[in-house]
Structure 1
Amino acid sequence: MKRTAMELAALASAAMPGLDIVQAAASPDDPRAFDSAIVTDTDNNHWRVRAPRHSQAAFRLETEIQVLSGFTPAIRAHLPFRVPSVAGAVQIDGLRTFIYHQMPGAPIDLATITQAETQTIDDIGRIIAAIHKLPSAVVETADLPAYGAEQSRARMLSELDQMALTGKVPADLLRRWENAFEERQMWTFVPRVVHGDFDETSLLIDRNRAVGVTAWTDLHIGDPARDFMWLASTGSIEFRDAVISSYHRHMKLPADQVDLHLMRRAALAAEFSLGKYLMSAIHASDDAVIAEAQSMLKDLAADIDHTGGHDVGQQFWEPVATAEPVGISDEDASDTEPAAPSESAPVETVEEEDHDDTDDVQTDTDVESTEAQGTASDVDQVPGDNEEPDTDDDEQTEPIEDSQTADRQDGGAELVVHSLTDAGEIVRHDAPQPTAEDDDTQPISWKVVQENLRKD
């Protein structure tokens, strides 16, 4: 039941006998839950009257009384803003109406506040930071809820399932929100004491300074992004960024603890609140509000389809794949281990030795090129790709197979025949040598010779 400002003034007089009210004016508040007015007495004192419209709103008001009782004089003294204090209460139709001492300042609309001076914007960031740094005892004393990051995500997922069952939420929105809830990277915030209902209507501005905060009905420990939902409604990116910057500056957090997804979750919560508005209307069986909520959800879906909407993490986050080195096979990569030379260790001269030996091999190859061709004539026939090798001359086919393998390994260099003496010396032969059963006299590549030299 809606009450006028004069009716609220009468309730104030009943709650505070002897109060002589001379003026009453409506005050901005949540029109779905409360009726509010500012009344003035004969001594020019101002009082705020707040009456619930239904039992759920009454419960929220009772919760606020508990919250305000937790703001001890010591806590209030350290806050950079004023907090309401209760002056009296009266019960009517089973619901209690509360009267508060009116604080300086008044709420201003969002369009005006976005054009506020730099000092006002800094005040807003400082106030939100001060709320988030309140001791948890304020919440615990009032026996208010506390939600961790995963609990917050799970609760919203459960609410999403309930919304989907109604069939009244556009499918595109359901998918968008579900994808955001599944992006775990967004849900790693540090839970803090949050106001829960912070917006431009709960902020009191006096002479371009933010001086007070009202509407403490939803205080709890949870996602700090809840107190930034209202910024998702502003079209001024400069104002939004300035408030966030001021908030981070007054929080004084290390760079690695800054919540990088704060506004993404705030924008998501702002969209999701329309779905919660629909659910509350369904539970209340209010057809008019249900139709209004459905219309708002359709408009939101159309706006997102047209503009893309806010970034609420609708894309799954995946780690960036690291490109594999080009030109190295899996087998080579597993066998090769990069090694950095030690500054104190002497530089190896293997490269220099290899260079000298390679020059010798190149000289020998040039001299023996005609001899190598003559060697090829001693072979009866080189088996082709599709021909069977001569089984009667196995010993002659082995050097050919070795030669083909060596060519692939040494980049096509020709082989020079060597033999190993009993004294361990390597002797080069200018003419082809007959094969023998001893493996030491078989033709070998220069690479094998180098390996044997290093072993010795």
Structure 2
Amino acid sequence: MRRNPYALAAVAAAAVPGMVPVTTVSIATPAEDLEVAGITGEDGRRVVVSCPATTAAGAELEKSVRVADSLSGTDVRDLVPAVLGFVTLPGGGRAAVTEAPRGRPLMFDQVTEDPSVAVSLGATIARIHTLPGYAAEATGAESFTAAALREMHRSQVARVREAEHLPAAVSQRWERLLGDDELWDFSPVFTHADLSEECLFVHEGRISAVQGWASARIGDPAADLAWLVAALDAEVFDRLYAAYCEHLPSSPHPRLLERAQAVGEFAVADWLLHGLDSGDEDIVSDARGMLADLEADLAQLARDEAERTYDDLES
């Protein structure tokens, strides 16, 4: 049963001492089983209430809040809205109340149109990746070795191949990538692992907050760059990546971008398997379309390479 705005405001009042709600506004989220609302108190204070509607959503919320709370004592605390309190729900689980992030949710066009946003996003990702090991471990996030992550990708690709949904050219490319030892010889770092527009906020041209830490792990830094490599124009991504490198204490893995591209491609395999496992034909069709597009891109690259080789022979 969906909770009305008054119920969500009551949660905020119960979790935050002295909070007297004045206005409530629902906040849309990608998660259908999580209700989120922004509450403003009579003193002008703004908070966010998150109420899970299922056990799975409750577990995800608990992990996200636990990680966020642990990060409050690190160098990225200014990016993580403070956890203010919890309220036990009648049907089980807990609602969480956090400070409202400054600014507004990131619109992807801002990364392309405003150089300062691209630079700030690159620097923000670098700050996350440079959290010291002890701080990352204190969040309780899972830790994966490079070998384990590589094997996870290999297993997912094998399942797609067995389901006979993998075009031959894509299969050959992925097999080659997964067989490249140097590509997967990297040092794991703390990652958000689920960055998107929905969890990033912008204020005055800078990333002001990062939310949604349920997938945080000690893993592959490429995971936080993959979605950007795929979506941004080369010039915009170069600006972002330059800022990322500038804020690292040492040079990144020499093939980090190549691996980020690969991780982005493997995400299509994950999406397809999600569709197959859930029996959602729309997702399956969407993922198969992505694989067809990738196959076409590979074919075009092969043609371009053949033309360059022929031109070299002619010259």
Q: 1:66: which partner in 2? A: 66
CA distance in 2, matches of 1:297, 1:249: 35
- Structure 1 counterpart SS, 2:122: helix
Question: How many angstroms does 1:272 deviate by?
Answer: 2.4
CA distance in 1, matches of 2:235, 2:5: 37
- Report if aligned partners of 1:275, 1:293 keep a CA contact under 8 Å in 2: no
- Structure 2 counterpart SS, 1:114: helix
Is 1:133–2:127 an aligned residue pair? no
Letter in 2 for 1:116: D
Normalising by structure 2, report the TM-score: 0.82
Q: 1:146 aligns with which of 137, 140, 143?
A: 143
CA distances 1:114-153 after superposition (whole Å, capped 9, x unpaired): 2113x33222222111111111222322332211221210
Distance 1:261 1:2, change over 3 A: farther
CA distance in 2, matches of 1:301, 1:272: 10
Q: 1:300: which partner in 2? A: 290
Q: 1:406: which partner in 2? A: none
CA distance in 2, matches of 1:7, 1:265: 46
Identity of aligned residues (%): 26
CA distance in 1, matches of 2:252, 2:97: 39
User: 1:234-249 counterparts in 2 under 5 A?
Assistant: 234-249=231-246
Letter in 1 for 2:271: Y
Question: How many angstroms does 1:174 deviate by?
Answer: 4.2
Is 1:270–2:264 an aligned residue pair? yes
Q: 1:443: which partner in 2? A: none
CA distances 1:12-62 after superposition (whole Å, capped 9, x unpaired): 345457643332333353335633222212222111122335433322221
Greater strand percent: which structure?
2
- Structure 1 counterpart SS, 2:175: helix
CA distance in 2, matches of 1:272, 1:33: 26
Greater helix percent: which structure?
2
Question: How many angstroms does 1:105 deviate by?
Answer: 1.5
CA distance in 2, matches of 1:295, 1:54: 28
Question: How many angstroms does 1:91 deviate by?
Answer: 3.5
Aligned length: 300
Letter in 1 for 2:220: D
- Structure 2 counterpart SS, 1:31: coil
Letter in 2 for 1:272: F
- Report if aligned partners of 2:188, 2:221 keep a CA contact under 8 Å in 1: yes
Distance 1:219 1:238, change over 3 A: same
CA distance in 2, matches of 1:39, 1:102: 9
Normalising by structure 1, report the TM-score: 0.59
Q: 2:309: which partner in 1? A: none
Letter in 1 for 2:38: I
Distance 1:102 1:178, change over 3 A: same
Gapped runs of 5+ residues in structure 2? 302-315
Letter in 1 for 2:203: D
CA distances 1:388-414 after superposition (whole Å, capped 9, x unpaired): xxxxxxxxxxxxxxxxxxxxxxxxxxx
Distance 1:246 1:5, change over 3 A: farther
Gapped runs of 5+ residues in structure 1? 312-456
Task: Considering Cα pairs closer than 8 Å and 6+ residues apart, tell me whether 1 or 2 has the greater RCO.
Answer: 2
CA distances 1:186-227 after superposition (whole Å, capped 9, x unpaired): 112221111112233222211112222211222211100111
- Structure 2 counterpart SS, 1:251: coil
Is 1:260–2:250 an aligned residue pair? no
Distance 1:168 1:7, change over 3 A: farther
Distance 1:135 1:205, change over 3 A: same
CA distances 1:93-115 after superposition (whole Å, capped 9, x unpaired): 33322111112122121122221
CA distance in 1, matches of 2:276, 2:26: 29
Q: 1:36: which partner in 2? A: 36
Q: 2:55: which partner in 1? A: 55
Letter in 2 for 1:297: A
User: 1:191-206 counterparts in 2 under 5 A?
Assistant: 191-206=188-203
- Report if aligned partners of 1:81, 1:213 keep a CA contact under 8 Å in 2: no
- Structure 1 counterpart SS, 2:79: coil
